Structure 1
Amino acid sequence: MKYKSILLNALWWHHFFLLWSTIDAQTRYSIPEELEKGSLVGNLAKDLGLGLSDIFERKLRVASEAGEQYFSVDAGRGELVVNDRIDREALCGQSASCLLPLQVVIENPLQLHRMEVEIKDVNDNAPTFLKSDHVIEIAESTVAGVRFPLEMAEDPDVGSNGLKTYTLSKDECFTLKVKEIENGRKVPELVLNKSLDREKKAVHSLFLTAVDGGNPVKSGTSKITINVLDNNDNVPQFEKAFYKVDVKENSANGSFVISTRAADVDEGPNGEIEYSLGVHTHPSVQELFHVDAATGDIYLKRQLDHETQSSYRIDISAKDKGFPKMEGHCTVQVDVTDVNDNAPEIILTSKSTSVPEDSSSGTVVALLSVRDLDSGENGKVTLQLLKTSSFALKPSFANNYALVTNGPLDRERISDYSIEITATDSGTPPLVSTKMIPVSITDVNDNPPVFTQRCYNVYLKENGVPGSILFSVSASDLDSGENAKISYSILDSKVQDVSVSSYVYMNSENGSIYSMHSFDYEKLKVFEIHVQAKDQGSPSLSSNATVHVFILDQNDNAPAVIYPSSAALGSLSHQRMPRSAKAGHLVTKVTAVDADSGHNAWISYRLAEATDASLFSVNLYTGEVRTKRAVSEQDDSSQRLILEIKDDGEPLQSATVTVSILLEDALHEPISELRLHKASEPSKKSGRITLYLILSLASVSVLSLLTFVILAVKCMRSSRSSGSCCCSMRRQDSEDYKNPNRNLQIQLNTDGPIKYVEVLGGDMMSQSQSFRSCMSPMSEYSDFTLIKPSSTTDFKEVISVLDASLPDSTWTFESQQESSCHTHTHTFLK
């Protein structure tokens, strides 16, 4: 069945190419068959005089008239390339010429170019025999010189690649003769050189080899077995060696085709003849024809089809009934006559069947072609346009037409047309086919996209998953088709001096906005995204909208311990305490901050573990570690405390610090994390420093109160909200930290259970030392605790943490100090 399908297809192509052969092609390329996909055929853009940009803008494409798309256009290079495997034998069979007609369609405006691609044969098929074994019976009385026809090999290739000759293995009794018949076909014949002697050799085994003319040479082999028989010595002879007859393709099944006659001079059974199809007859021929065994008459078994195959060669065998049987042969050629049994077919070549309503008369709307598989007058077709005056058919070339406008169009009056085209051939009777071509009248782009809102507010929690959707905007367009297709984009803008495209990206098709990374409330609280909706019209129209994104704080920062300084000493703080300490003695104070805001930044302290839990306690809000009772002689001299610091967020975040306390006798100075850098300094100098600190705090307190009053009056007069004032102050704070100078800064914290003031001064970039003074009414030693100077780097890190963590109620005040002042920090605990 597969072989039959190939034959039918090949005959159809052969007829199709004969039909096209009368047309002069504008462009012709030649390529060998079996090229790989993507192989170059020719520079189509150059041959048509087009630039590479024209291929995209004018939508150039290739349409095959055979239906199968064997070629395509490489738009990037303007080249015609192979799109699928091309088998010349399947397309054109044994035809000497194999041409593939193509149509190059160029739209905007529509143009049609015709070209041909010649498929050259390559030697990709070896000669083959229908049967690999052939048995011949020859009587030993057969005289020398008698010829016996052998099976012909088939080679689908043509020209020099086709079958060239036959060779026979060596045998003293037989030689090979190759006879050439019409159409250049070669028939091998076995010639008896000398009389056979069955008693000497009853069986002869020969090998017949068919060789083609390709390079490299390919061949096929068939084994010939000759059985030597006795008796019957006359071969039946046909009246003609070759018969020829014409049969109409619409002849009914069982119709008579032709009579063949043979005679045998022998008498009796040796002269009685039986007719049959030759043993080498192709199965496709056996399915179509039948030979009467007694009369030699040939009949049709199935209806023929001229378009599938126009000619058949039948090998007829005549055998007598003698012993051994003698066999004669003749050839019958049946030519199939065409009748008008195929209606014409209208093929729409172009895809576009729409036209703007402002198109001028003569504008090409569609390209179409017509074909009829019949031949001669039966294949001549005329087209006619019915029931419309707004369009007309304009002949192009070789049964190709253009459907053009024939007058003004009005979309408001008629927006869609159904154009009926009829095709009629010249056969008897004529056959007719129709095709409906819908044509829509398009409008112009006069409506921009419109967002559902001009401004959108989006509230987003910090620490979201990168790539998650933030929001979706939507716009609509009153136009239709491409004019209503909307693409979304983000307009370039800056967020903290960085392009907004570094933060978010947008799906251009549905307007969804996605995050590029996780947002941090402590770094970015609000930003704007300017989006644009743009249609696909020409010229395109657009509109803009603004998306305000507000970042919501999450409890994602654990409390950070700033005293004892973990950067310098690790998580373990060493303290000393006299054994003479009474109940309520201040051992040390743990200070921590939280980078979050609001309730997420409220900090509480608790004693998680202790060597002796009955000896120490920690204040829930201040972090002060005090003795619960007086130290006794039985208490271990080394005590270890683990303090847990927790915030008030959800989920809860915590940190721990370990304090190691050494109980000593006769300790005459306050216990702290470390002594002063110069412990031997005179008490007079210490008292002077304390006086300076008290005076500084008093002056700063007055400045704080005065500044607070001024700011309150200013905010009340401002037309902005109170939040704007706070933001302005916080920006000022940030600038102060970024640009350190020799100023004294006081920070007042009124949020949460911990109340304290930080006094900061001096040049942040200098090598001056900083001190922290802690004052508590519960301390039994001193109102101030002096701590070892910290490095400039550590101080800046503490300031950075404090600036990020202090709530909105934090205010910063400045007073100019002398450049020679050291930096001090005073903390009041309430």
Structure 2
Amino acid sequence: MALLRRDALVTRQLLRLLLLHTAWEVGSGQLRYSVPEESKHGTFVGRLAQDLGLEVAELVSRMFRMVSSGRRDYFEVNLQSGVLFVNSRLDREELCGQSPLCAIDLEVIVDKPLRIFHVEVEIQDINDNAPVFPVNEKNLFISESRRPGSRFPLEGASDADIGTNSLLTYKLSLNDYFDVDLQKNNEQRKSLVLLLKEPLDREETSEHSLLLTATDGGKPELTGTVQLMIKVLDANDNAPVFNQSVYEVRLLENATNGTLIIKLNATDLDEGINKDISYSFSNSFNPNLRNMFSLDPNTGEVRFKGELDFENISLYELQIEATDKSAFPLTGHCTLVVEVLDVNDNAPELAVTSLSLPVPEDAPPGTVVALISVSDRDSGDNGKVTCSIPPNLPFRLVSTFKNYHSLVLAEAVDRERVSEYKIVVTARDQGAPSLSASSSILVAISDVNDNAPAFPQPVYTVFVKENNPPGAHLLTVSAWDPDLRENAFVSYSVVERSVGEQPLSSYISVHSESGQIYALQPLDYEELQVLQFQVNARDAGLPSLCGNVSVQLFVLDANDNAPAVSPAGSVGGSPGPELVPLSAGAGHVVGKIRAVDADSGYNAWLRYEVQDPGAAGPFRVGVYSGEISTTRALEEADGPSQSLVILVKDHGEPSLSATATVSLSLVESAQAVRWDSRPRGGSEGPLVDMNVSLMIAICSVSGLFVLVIVVYVGLRCHPGPEVMCGPGKATVVCASEVGSWSYSQRQSRNLCVGEGTAKNDLMVFSPNFPNSTENGEKEKQQAMASSVYGTVACVMSVSLPLNVFPRFY
């Protein structure tokens, strides 16, 4: 029972440690897994979705994907379970060589929203490589004069594994003379030597055959062997000796062919031929290295003759022998270590691993557009890479993880201003001189409905003649929307309102697609002169946007109304025939025709004339005033009555007319005129009163001829009464800018003369333009040009001389 409790306690502690480790991994921003090399396809690595906090059911909808850093797909994720498993064979030695840490970096990307997770899978080494010696058999020549304790370097075995799996121990087959020893030259290299324990005697044993076994530290252990053939030499007791056992040289990887690396120097204490030394590479020297290095056998100069590449091999170890020229030569050994120094000979590499295009123009700043990975095969500063994009762009680069950068939106974009951006991403290392590489990303901006339709002008003005046919095209309005597709599709409509008692839609309509405006019914200037309305333009976006424009429709007058004489059948407001005294002289006004025209402008400007000039007799009519006056003194021969047919015409095209018949009765007595006629214009009253006074005076002195003569002379000498014309209203016809005419009221005074014929009638025209801002300056000029167009004058009946003996009827 106590044992079970202890096991449970240990289990809880292990779980607590595991949870702490997992929390530390998640807090650091990176997941880490490990898997042994040579794992089979389908080997479980970890519950990736669960460890990342993702719902397995959302992996497909969120476009779950995994990107490996430049290598083939060694791992795969089951989208149904979220489990990470081995996809292809893993060979740690192939992937990482002798690197102590072998890991594959994975980038996990999900959308909606876009998130990036970094996963590292460590490839664990297994003991799958046995130690290997350079050769299967090694020949050694050792003089019998060598003393115990002498050391002879051996080429050790190599193991492709790492860690304890590559930790080698050596064992020599059982003998009395030799043993092996592993010496540490420094922290990185170890030298294997053959140690002489007892003096050699060639005469007793001339050759020794030993088996050297190398065993690694893996489980199970793996071994490798080499056969050592040791020949004992006689005589030459001193071998050449180098001044140091290990030479270390640094060489730039861009060294030219023939560069001197080092000049070796070995000495031999013997004399004669046993002192002469020849330099050579060890028999165990890699044949491939012979094509890269040369050794002068006489001088000991080592030169470079191939091509160096730091990125492939950064360290070379050359085993060099110095052999004397004795019949039984002795050999001295040294190791030449050539360290290759990196130069900046590799440009950075760029790769775009993920794109989120196109970018909506309403995307908020911080939106991730692309994921960019950079790498450089060089090392140190030569391999440190910085990324940049051109300035003055609404984008920026954000470093995310190791050599990954995110291209994000820095500020709002506007498709109508710039529809796409060509972004050149430049990666530059910190070498001297630095190298760079660039890649272009074309970022398209998608449209959103953020522009309302706009008209090119705030107000449209159109002039239309009245009596237009139904369905007549009036004008076309057009609005422009800089958006795309349905966001730029504009439809038109009229903003409904009332025009009098009718709706606007009963007068005009607009085509929803073309913007053409049509008249639905004939327009009548006498009813409607100006029609103002608004046209609405709306796009098809969601939500839709709209804009309005004002339309001013001016109806132009047409000559569609004939003149009308008012009141019908009368002249000057007098019923029945006009009474004209026979005593009336030339220019005497006997009546006036009054006519109106419902049109305006020239179409309402009336002209009066006698229809049959030959039948007018002693009468005429004022061309523009309509006043009927005498052209000469009346005579009895003119008859008791006359009838005049007056033709009233307007100035329209074509001209319309009306006729009025005026009956004139000639009377003998001026008193009768007073009884039967009304005063006209306020100028005949004094004349009638004066005639009555004269008649009373004549009756009182009829018997006295002289008195009559005196009275007659007095009357002839008495000046005629001065007649003043009171102010009256005159209708002035005004010209508009389009050639039509309209009424305007002006004050005028009649200029009267005592004798003679009446003056010709003149009319004053002044422009009466519609109030339009577009024509303001033009209107001013035309108004000034037409302000003085004529002079107003009036026609006044002239007092006729009275006969001395008037006749009464």
State the TM-score, normalized to the length of structure 2. Answer: 0.50
Higher CA-based Rg: 2
